Amino acid sequence: MPTPLHSLSPAGPAHCCIWDPHRVFFFTPSKKETNEMERCCCGLMTPEKQAVPLQSVDVQVDVKDHVATVVSTLLYQNKEEKPIEAVFVFPMSSEAAVCHFSAKVGQTLIVAEVKEKKQAREEYDDALSSGQQAFLLEESDQSPDIFSMSVGSLPPGESASIRLEYVTELDVQADDALRFCLPAVLNPRYQPAGTEGSSVKVTSVPSSLVPYDLTFSAQMESLRPVSKVESSCTMEPVNYLNENQTKASVKLAAGHKFDRDVELLIYYSDSHQPSAVVEAAQGSAKRGSLMGDPALMLSLYPEFPKDIMSSVSSSGEFVFLLDRSGSMDCNMSNMGTSVSRIASARDTLLLLLKSLPMGCFFNIYSFGSTFEQIFPESVKYSQKTMEEALKKVENMKANLGGTEILAPLKRIYSQACIPNQPRQLFVFTDGEVGNTKEVTNLVKSNAAAHRCFSFGIGEGASTALINGLAKEGGGHAQFISGNDRMQPKVIQSLRFAMQPAVVDISVNWDLPKGVSATVLSPPLTSIFQGQRSLLYVQLTGKSKKEAEGCVTVKYSLAGHPTENKLNFSLQPVEDTGLTVHRLAARSLIRSLEQEKEDTSHKKVDAAKKKVIDLSVQSGVSSSFTAFIAVNKTSGEAIQGPLLRRNVPLPMMMSCSMPMPKSCGRLKSRMRLCAPMQMGAVCNAFDCDDMMADECMAEESSMPAKPKPQRDPLLELVCLQKASGCWELEPELAKTLSQTSQDLQDKQPSMANKEVWATIVALVWLHGLKADAKDEWELLVMKAATWLRSQNAAGLSECVEAANALLGCSVQKDALGL
């Protein structure tokens, strides 16, 4: 079960932070200021000030192919002299289906029921009022990736063990890994003025002060061997449980700190295989209901014709939307070697601009509390426009205040689409947005005119926002955290964007007589080469044990009718824990919740009722329901008022800087912000009202930080021209660790300077940077296209000379020549 929160405060109690466009400063307020802050920010609770009732968290993950079942056990203990109510707000993937919540007090097990949220809250309050123990788990009204757990009326000296279970699909990464993330960081979500605020309150402390422990273990099982497992955290060596390595386990090494998410990357051999699993119905459920019929999970990996995929489209309008709110100045993780989010985004934009094809159109928007755009409207890609854009990108800082993404999106959508140039929108954000549903609804309403590719930067990025943008925009979502390089993931999405749009998608079923299929997932609106598409289906009717079914996905790709087929057995699998049914229920619930957002008031109640009925029937949480458990066997009523204890989440510390001594005047000028959504500590990043003119002036006299040395690969990318070629210049020689004289002396006599420089650059990339091929592949294709257009003589001699110069052995054919 997750832990850290991204808000700011240095070690030690009662510190606050303020934000200016370039720095985050901390100061120690007076006692009066401290009291005011606690009233404003809902109270920063630290272990020094009061006991934390949560003692430990144990997480066990069971991965079967691409689905994970997660069981978290939280041990609470009241060490105080009065009864308490413990409230824990934590992050969870928006894709998770929470399906079990129970509490064990002594020898008594209390299993929670799913009920309509208002009713559940009333039962919880009534139980506490009458001195009974009660337990409540609910999803945030504003965002499906935030949950709140309340443990009420825990008497002095008593313990309670809470069990929470959920199932979730694992995302496919750019390198074909399956990604599981146990979210630890919960960043404060910026709530734009005039929008509905969140009622959820979060408490955070520096990670070194969090008193509860985390133990974590994972077991993996698949029909295909587990080739390797990687993690963002220190794990013990992989333990293979059988000879063919189809079963394996790992666990977190001792000493893990609560300063980042726990991420697992699981690699299977030959993972891109379509599959189908039919799960048996729940025995006690009514036939004809979702839980009373078999459920089918289809995992499809469409394969496109090679002749279509071998060419890259040179058309398209590429619109890049970059988050420049204050929190983007934070590091990618708490690990000391990580770069800032904004720096990583700048480097990625460089690579993207260099990888764009000649003939396309592009523009770059950036946003915070306000937004900016480089060009009034999208412009044709050329050397001139590329250089103009790069100059402005190089100077972009995280200095635009809050995270108001709606306004730039509306501006983008207000621009007319360019004929024969399909619009592709790339959104880069750390996801600290409070109006998630409003944003994703806007993208959905414009889905017919574009595809949206989203990137969650840094730990704590809202999965509801990032996944929602891609899902509603018919694109693809990626998450980048820790020491991940953003570039390969973004270039993969660029390749997707350059694929011809798949249209006229249909799913056809060939089933035995008397068996019918009802698709529970949203209709397929986007298909990408090599990417998984999931479908959940309810099967009605009876069939013979040996019966088989067939599903055919038909679509049109670049004007060519195409289809992919998958045959599967209809024999249900028993003892699966109803994983498929619950994921299917989750998928249908999310669709119905979206339907409620889109329909008129007359239909809202009907849609809400469908969600509540399905949630109660399946035991899967929703935005309109909650898990409620009341201990009615606890004997005597618990006497006295309850002390509320907010369980703290660890915070990220990667943006903190000491405040200059000369900024004493700023303390007196400081005005505490209005209560933040989720009650987080005063959020320095997105409180753009708190800009400090005095500090800005004083900071300008501070010595500038030395510019970090750029990766040689990115230096080489910087030197490439929009056409795809390189020029023979001293900077190229320096980047390749050569002298200008050596570069000139080795040039074959029949080759011109640009051809020679381009060949050398390509040989260097293929020979010395092969491990970064995912990053440079598109710009190399552009360079090869330019070389072919020159009809230059002596290419073989140039390749041979470049190999001799660089100590490589790259073949001419490998360069695409």
Pairing of strands 643-646, 275-279: unpaired
Structure tokens at 76: 């609470």
Give 343-373 pLDDT, tens digit per residue: 989 999 999 999 999 889 999 999 999 999 9
Q: Cα–Cα distance between 701 and 678 in angstroms, integer?
A: 37
Q: Cα–Cα distance between 262 and 53 in angstroms, integer?
A: 23
Asked whether 409 and 439 are in contact (CB, 8 A), the reply is yes
Ranges under pLDDT 50 in the chain: 1-48, 198-199, 654-702
pLDDT of res. 338: 65
Structure tokens at 239: 């333990």
Q: Which amino acid is at 200?
A: V
pLDDT of res. 335: 58
Write down the H helix ranges in 662-772: 664-669, 693-700, 712-719, 730-735, 740-745, 753-768
pLDDT of res. 318: 96
pLDDT of res. 686: 38
Q: For 262, how many CA atoms within 13 A lie in the half-sphere containing its CB? A: 24
* Burial classification of residue 48, based on how many CB atoms lie within 10 Å of its CB (0-12 exposed, 13-18 middle, 19 or more buried): exposed
* Residue ranges with strand state E in 133-241: 133-139, 146-154, 159-169, 171-172, 178-182, 204-206, 213-221, 226-231, 239-240
pLDDT of res. 696: 36
Q: Cα–Cα distance between 116 and 122 in angstroms, integer?
A: 10
Q: Cα–Cα distance between 532 and 170 in angstroms, integer?
A: 11
Asked whether 430 and 456 are in contact (CB, 8 A), the reply is yes
User: What's CA 16's distance to the chain center, in Å?
Assistant: 28
Q: Which domains occur in the chain, in start order?
A: 314-494 (3.40.50.410), 502-618 (2.60.40), 712-815 (no CATH)
Q: Cα–Cα distance between 543 and 541 in angstroms, integer?
A: 7
Write down the H helix ranges in 459-550: 463-472, 486-498
Long-range contacts of 345-348 (CB under 8 A, 24+ apart): 345/428, 345/457, 345/486, 346/393, 346/394, 346/396, 347/486, 347/487, 347/710, 347/711, 347/714, 348/428, 348/486, 348/487, 348/490
Q: For 410, how many CA atoms within 13 A lie in the half-sphere containing its CB? A: 8
Q: Cα–Cα distance between 118 and 624 in angstroms, integer?
A: 8
